[in-house]
């Protein structure tokens, strides 16, 4: 009989009544994966996944008997989803791999917790926990968590060949949890797996890059990726791993800071959304000249200007931008009509010219702006 490696005071999420109903329906279930890892570290838990030795049809029947939703979200892989209050909780039957193709696996169900743990990617993700806080560790994940070590379960080359997305996941977890660099064998396996990235969907690659760049300090991991040739493989447009990263964990802002190539080419290749594409391109421009900050704020959103300043390393300018109200052009068509100009296209033309002069003058107040407009109307009348 396997004994738990340790007992934690049950994390707060285990006391949620809705989740307790799920455990009451499935007393053999345990929390698995990231929720256990983060609970051990004292980090707030968001997503909760469960595993159970019960086959999926028995899981669904048990949930329904308890009056809970049972949604067959992935029966081929043994996954059923239920609702625990505001949470969607995935419940997966313990598995072992039969075949893998570098991205997907054909699995068989098992009732052995250790066998299920052995098929997971990293030791820190192979932990499981019972509702009373007993943590089971079949792969040395607790020691690795304590050491800040991201380590594959078993042979790194085999784990990577099973699913090449694990190459990017390794660096994402290294950025968030790693304090110890990988050993030589792991580095060699990571390098050897680089060609496998070509078989991943652009969306999955971008998702992993975003999550990596959202880590508190991804700079050491980016340097490791550059050293191993992984950064050039995922960002072939060109990236500087030594670039200064803004402190705020904004993935797109940090991407703009390290990117040295064409943002449009990157956006096309990784299938960025329209909003992401536009923001990345906008952030790549130089920061505003502090002498003409009012004009810049009138033309460009403050968050973009502040982002450009942060990329340039000018935190004082970014703070100033955040504290400065954006000027608003104070005139409208009625102001032109009030000067005797008849309705028609001339209204729009005069407003556009007035706005251009208003910007050039440093965005003065409404009275000064009306004076600018009056001068324009006189010039038009005189000509």
DSSP states of 179-212 as a string?
-S---HHHHHHHHHTGGGGGGS-HHHHHHHHHHH
pLDDT in tens, 318-367: 999 999 999 999 999 999 999 999 999 999 999 999 999 999 999 999 99
Phi, psi of 78 (to 5 degrees): 80, 20
pLDDT, residue 190, reads 98
- Would 328 be classed as within a structural domain? no
pLDDT, residue 100, reads 60
pLDDT in tens, 75-95: 778 899 999 888 899 999 998
pLDDT, residue 325, reads 95
- Would 222 be classed as within a structural domain? yes
Same domain as 275, residue 203: yes
Average pLDDT, the chain: 94
Between 9 and 141, the more confident residue is 141
Residue 383 has pLDDT above 70, yes or no: no
Same domain as 344, residue 301: no
Biggest alpha carbon–alpha carbon distance for the chain: 99
Give the integer Cα–Cα distance in Å for 75 and 86. Answer: 23
Residue 148 has pLDDT above 60, yes or no: yes
Q: Which domain holds residue 188?
A: 154-284
Query: Closest Cα to residue 332, out of 364, 379, 300, 370?
Result: 370
Same domain as 245, residue 364: no
Q: What is the average pLDDT across 143-150? A: 97
Domain final residue, candidates 80, 113, 147 = 147
Same domain as 96, residue 70: yes
Query: If DSSP codes are grouped into helix, strand and coil, which group holds residue 48?
Result: coil
pLDDT band at 2 (very low <50, low <70, confident <90, very high): confident
Same domain as 258, residue 177: yes
- Would 383 be classed as within a structural domain? no
pLDDT, residue 103, reads 55
Q: How buried is 367 (Cβ within 10 angstroms: 0-12 exposed, 13-18 middle, 19+ buried)? A: exposed
DSSP 151-167: -BSS-HHHHHHHBTHHH
Q: What percent of the chain has pLDDT over 70?
A: 97
Give the integer Cα–Cα distance in Å for 24 and 10. Answer: 16
Same domain as 196, residue 100: no
- Give how many domains the chain has, as a whole number: 4
Give the integer Cα–Cα distance in Å for 23 and 330. Answer: 61
Q: In 29-75, which residue ranges form alpha helices assigned H by DSSP?
A: 34-41, 56-65
pLDDT in tens, 231-285: 999 999 999 999 999 999 999 999 999 999 999 999 999 999 999 999 999 999 9
How many other C-beta atoms lie within 10 A of the C-beta of residue 187?
Answer: 15
Same domain as 234, residue 190: yes
Residue 101 has pLDDT above 60, yes or no: no
Q: Of 68-77, 135-144, 167-176, 263-272, which gets the smallest average pLDDT?
A: 68-77
Those residues with Cβ within 8 angstroms of residue 295's Cβ, 6 or more apart along the chain or in another chain:
359, 360, 362, 363
Same domain as 140, residue 108: yes
Q: Of 54-63, 69-78, 117-126, 220-229, which gets the smallest average pLDDT?
A: 69-78
Residue 106 has pLDDT above 80, yes or no: no
For residues 363 and 324, is the Cβ–Cβ distance under 8 A? no
Q: Which pTM was predicted?
A: 0.89
For residues 90 and 49, is the Cβ–Cβ distance under 8 A? yes
- Would 351 be classed as within a structural domain? yes
């Amino acid at each position: 009989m396997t004994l738990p490696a340790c007992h934690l005071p049950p994390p707060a999420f285990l006391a949620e009544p809705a989740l307790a109903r799920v455990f009451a329906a499935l007393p053999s279930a345990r929390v698995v994966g990231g929720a256990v890892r983060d609970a051990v570290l004292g980090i707030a838990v968001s997503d909760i996944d469960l595993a159970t030795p019960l086959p999926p049809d028995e899981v669904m029947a048990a949930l329904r008997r308890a009056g809970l939703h049972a949604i067959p979200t992935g029966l081929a892989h043994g996954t059923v989803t239920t609702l625990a209050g505001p949470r969607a909780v995935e419940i997966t039957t313990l598995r072992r791999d039969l075949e893998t193709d570098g991205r997907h696996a054909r699995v068989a169900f098992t009732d052995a917790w250790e066998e299920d743990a052995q098929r997971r990617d990293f030791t820190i993700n192979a932990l499981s926990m019972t509702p009373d806080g007993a943590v089971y560790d079949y792969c040395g994940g607790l020691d690795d968590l304590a050491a800040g070590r991201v380590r594959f379960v078993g042979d790194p080359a085999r784990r990577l060949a099973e699913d090449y997305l694990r190459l990017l996941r390794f660096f994402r977890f290294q950025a968030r949890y790693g304090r110890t660099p990988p050993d030589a064998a792991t580095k060699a396996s990571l390098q050897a797996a680089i060609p496998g990235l070509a078989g991943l969907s652009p969306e999955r690659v971008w998702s992993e890059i975003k999550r990596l760049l959202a880590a508190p300090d991804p700079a050491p991991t980016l340097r490791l990726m550059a050293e191993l040739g992984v950064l050039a493989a995922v960002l072939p447009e060109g990236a500087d791993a030594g670039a200064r990263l803004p402190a705020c964990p904004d993935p797109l802002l940090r991407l703009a800071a390290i990117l040295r190539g064409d943002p449009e080419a990157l956006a096309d290749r990784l299938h960025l959304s329209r909003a992401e594409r536009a923001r990345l391109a906008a952030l790549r421009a130089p920061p505003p000249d502090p002498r003409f900050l009012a004009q810049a704020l009138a033309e460009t959103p403050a968050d973009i200007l502040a982002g450009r300043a942060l990329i340039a390393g000018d935190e004082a300018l970014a703070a100033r931008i955040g504290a400065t109200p954006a000027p608003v052009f104070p005139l409208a068509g009625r102001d032109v009509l009030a000067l005797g100009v008849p309705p028609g296209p001339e209204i729009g033309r005069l407003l556009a010219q007035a706005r251009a002069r208003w910007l050039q003058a440093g965005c003065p107040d409404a009275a000064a702006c009306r004076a600018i407009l009056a001068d324009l109307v006189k010039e038009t009348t005189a000509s």
